[in-house]
């Protein structure tokens, strides 16, 4: 294709077309335009422009009448966009030029003064930061909601035993409440990562202009404060080329999505026919078009899968950024779609997970039955030998292993062995040992800080519910 091929017959861009005689090739317009996705930034773009115009007016860089016209004009544009009547144009590339061109259409000369002492480089850095900050705040609320759902279920099942696994092999009994609260801890760290990222991102790039700052006597503290930022950025080159805020957001998203994926995987396992630990209602399952007995946990599977795209977004943006010399390069326009997509996937996953947690009906009797199978209280027997007979733990482990082997041979549980059979292996054992072999005794004994004892779990669930209220 030569450079005159397939032009769309557009005139040179009205925002920067002074030295351009003609418009771009069609393919140039297609690859260059971001309006298809960055229209999502319209609220932040208007917010930034309002703050910038007010500052220009206060300093006297533009006249008060111009500020009034710009403010009213931007208000009208917000209404148009909300009503769906705004004429978005691909030829105007992005949300910044679409809004500015429309402003000039609506208010004339004053509209052309808005871009004094700024550039699209600091403008987009500001808009995108504001968008990520808003998304981060919304997601924090959603994470808290899921934590609340988990803590409420945990409070209801603080004393209900289930098998605890390592290697997905029966290990020791835990309570269902304890298991659910493990996810509350993970989600709390996810909130913490967002809070940390928010603190670092809350710096205003506005007024860094294209890359070097500006010769106009602007007040960057004023615009920073108006936009809820803690302070203006210290280095103009860094400010227009920094996308760490988006990367930190995506890193927090990737870790949190990984947590949600683990819970989703457990839900899939718990719902499966061999387990049947929980049941999801019609509201969170689908049927099969061929197998009438099926009740598929599709929501959980999709939460598990969305982790892939969230992590992909993080890796994708890291690759976009990794070789960029200072300062702005158009590569950075590719920062938005992964963030928008990951934010949406994360929000959906949080909402679906909260829905499933509230919806699920645990089968307490079945969990209790399996909690006691697989010699789950073998550690309790070993601990008893240490505590009562003063055996060294390694010896107790050996004795218990021999008893487990014997029980396995006879096809019974540890509690199914007779006292005589036990004494044949360790003569010191007394009938008292049977008191530690029940699932209830096992979980009740785990009173160490952070352990699964029902009293601990009830206290932790109550603490979380009050923290989250």
Our CB check for ligand ARG shows the closer of 131 and 464 to be: 131
Q: CA of 211: how far to CAs of 50, 82, 229, 239, 297, in Å?
A: 21, 33, 20, 8, 51
Our CB check for ligand ARG shows the closer of 38 and 190 to be: 38
Our CB check for ligand ARG shows the closer of 24 and 297 to be: 24
Instruction: List active site positions.
Output: 167, 288
Listed ranges 116-124, 375-383, 406-414, 448-456: which one lies at the site for ligand ARG (CB under 6 A)? 116-124
Our CB check for ligand ARG shows the closer of 43 and 368 to be: 43
Our CB check for ligand ARG shows the closer of 121 and 208 to be: 121
Virtual torsion, Cα 355, 297, 179, 363, nearest 10 deg: 100
> 200: how many CB neighbours lie within 10 A of its CB?
11
Per the listing, tokens 């924090």 go with: 140
Residue in 268, 99, 60, 69 with CA at minimum distance from that of residue 168:
268
Our CB check for ligand ARG shows the closer of 94 and 160 to be: 94
Q: How far is the CB of 449 from ligand ARG (least distance, A)?
A: 50
Q: How far is the CB of 143 from ligand ARG (least distance, A)?
A: 28
Are the C-beta atoms of 111 and 73 separated by less than 8 Å? yes
Q: Both ends of the chain: CA-CA distance in Å?
A: 63
Q: How far is the CB of 337 from ligand ARG (least distance, A)?
A: 10
The CA distance from 452 to 469, in Å, is 24
The CA distance from 196 to 191, in Å, is 9
The interface mask with ligand ARG, positions 118-157, x = CB under 6 A, is: --xx--x---------------------------------
The interface mask with ligand ARG, positions 276-315, x = CB under 6 A, is: ----------------------------------------
Our CB check for ligand ARG shows the closer of 120 and 259 to be: 120
| Binding test (CB under 6 A) with ligand ARG, winner from 15, 172, 236, 333 | 333
Our CB check for ligand ARG shows the closer of 120 and 178 to be: 120
Q: How far is the CB of 461 from ligand ARG (least distance, A)?
A: 46
Q: How far is the CB of 121 from ligand ARG (least distance, A)?
A: 5
**Sign (positive or negative) of CA dihedral 261, 265, 267, 268:** positive
Contact status: 34 vs ligand ARG (CB under 6 A): yes
Listed ranges 130-138, 325-333, 352-360, 391-399: which one lies at the site for ligand ARG (CB under 6 A)? 325-333
> 107: how many CB neighbours lie within 10 A of its CB?
22
The CA distance from 429 to 422, in Å, is 7
The CA distance from 24 to 136, in Å, is 37
The interface mask with ligand ARG, positions 369-388, x = CB under 6 A, is: --------------------
Q: How far is the CB of 79 from ligand ARG (least distance, A)?
A: 24
Contact status: 328 vs ligand ARG (CB under 6 A): yes
Listed ranges 263-271, 315-323, 327-335, 387-395: which one lies at the site for ligand ARG (CB under 6 A)? 327-335
Our CB check for ligand ARG shows the closer of 131 and 183 to be: 131
The DSSP secondary-structure symbol of 106 reads H
From start to end of 334-458, where are the E strands?
361-362
Q: How far is the CB of 234 from ligand ARG (least distance, A)?
A: 21
Bridge partners (DSSP) listed for residue 231: 203
Contact status: 439 vs ligand ARG (CB under 6 A): no
**Strand, coil or helix: what is 135?**
helix
Number of residues that bind ligand ARG (CB under 6 A): 10
CA-based diameter of the chain, in Å?
102
Instruction: Specify the pairing of strand 161-166 against strand 169-175.
Output: antiparallel
| Binding test (CB under 6 A) with ligand ARG, winner from 51, 55, 187, 332 | 332
Listed ranges 170-178, 195-203, 329-337, 396-404: which one lies at the site for ligand ARG (CB under 6 A)? 329-337
Contacts of 231 (CB under 8 A, 6+ apart): 203, 204, 221, 224
Are the C-beta atoms of 228 and 203 separated by less than 8 Å? no
440: part of which helix (H) or strand (E)? helix 439-445
The CA distance from 95 to 434, in Å, is 73
The interface mask with ligand ARG, positions 172-191, x = CB under 6 A, is: --------------------
Q: How far is the CB of 29 from ligand ARG (least distance, A)?
A: 13
The CA distance from 261 to 179, in Å, is 15
1: part of which helix (H) or strand (E)? none
Residues 68-107 close enough to bind ligand ARG by CB under 6 A: 94
Contacts of 78 (CB under 8 A, 6+ apart): 42, 43, 46
Q: How far is the CB of 238 from ligand ARG (least distance, A)?
A: 16
Listed ranges 55-63, 117-125, 137-145, 440-448: which one lies at the site for ligand ARG (CB under 6 A)? 117-125
Tell me which residues touch ligand ARG (CB under 6 A). Answer: 34, 38, 94, 120-121, 124, 328, 330, 332-333
């Amino acid at each position: 294709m030569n450079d005159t091929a397939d032009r769309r017959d557009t005139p040179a861009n009205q925002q920067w077309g002074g030295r351009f005689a003609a418009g771009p090739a069609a393919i140039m317009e297609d690859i260059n335009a971001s309006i298809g996705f960055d229209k999502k930034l319209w609220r932040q773009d208007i917010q930034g422009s309002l703050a910038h115009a007010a500052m220009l007016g206060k300093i006297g860089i533009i006249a008060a009448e111009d500020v009034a016209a710009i403010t009213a004009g931007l208000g009208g544009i917000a209404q148009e966009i909300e009503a769906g009547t705004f004429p978005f144009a691909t030829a105007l590339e992005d949300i910044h030029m679409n809004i500015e061109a429309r402003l000039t259409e609506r208010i004339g000369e004053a509209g052309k003064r808005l871009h004094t002492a700024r550039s699209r480089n600091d403008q987009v850095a500001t808009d995108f930061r504001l968008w990520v900050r808003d998304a981060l705040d919304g997601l924090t609320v959603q994470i808290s909601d899921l934590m609340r759902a988990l803590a409420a279920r945990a409070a209801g099942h603080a004393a209900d035993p289930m098998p605890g696994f390592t290697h997905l092999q029966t290990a020791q009994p835990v309570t269902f409440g304890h298991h659910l609260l493990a996810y509350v801890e993970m989600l709390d760290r996810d909130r913490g990562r967002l809070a940390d990222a928010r603190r670092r991102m809350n710096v205003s790039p506005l007024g860094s202009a294209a890359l070097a700052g500006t010769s106009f006597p602007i007040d960057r503290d004023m615009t920073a404060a108006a936009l809820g930022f803690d302070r203006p950025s210290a280095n103009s080159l860094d400010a227009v080329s920094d996308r760490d805020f988006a990367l930190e957001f995506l890193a927090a998203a990737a870790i949190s999505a990984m947590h949600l994926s683990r819970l989703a995987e457990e839900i899939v396992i718990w719902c499966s026919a061999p387990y049947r630990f929980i049941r999801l209602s019609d509201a969170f399952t689908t049927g099969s078009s061929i197998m009438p007995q099926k009740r598929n946990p599709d929501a959980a599977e999709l939460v598990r899968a969305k982790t892939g795209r969230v992590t992909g977004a993080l890796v994708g943006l890291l690759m976009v950024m990794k070789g960029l010399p200072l300062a702005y390069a158009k590569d950075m326009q590719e920062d938005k779609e992964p963030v928008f997509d990951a934010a949406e996937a994360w929000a959906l996953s949080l909402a679906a997970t909260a829905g499933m947690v509230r919806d699920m009906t645990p089968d307490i009797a079945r969990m209790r039955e399996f909690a006691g199978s697989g010699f789950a209280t073998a550690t309790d027997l070993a601990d008893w030998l240490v505590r009562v007979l003063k055996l060294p733990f390694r010896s107790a482990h050996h004795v218990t292993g021999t008893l487990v082997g014997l029980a396995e041979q006879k096809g019974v549980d540890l509690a199914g062995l007779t006292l005589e059979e036990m004494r044949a292996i360790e003569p010191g054992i007394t009938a008292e040992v049977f008191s530690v072999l029940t699932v209830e005794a096992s979980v009740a004994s785990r009173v160490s800080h952070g352990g699964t004892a029902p009293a601990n779990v009830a206290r932790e669930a109550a603490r979380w519910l009050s923290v989250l209220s």
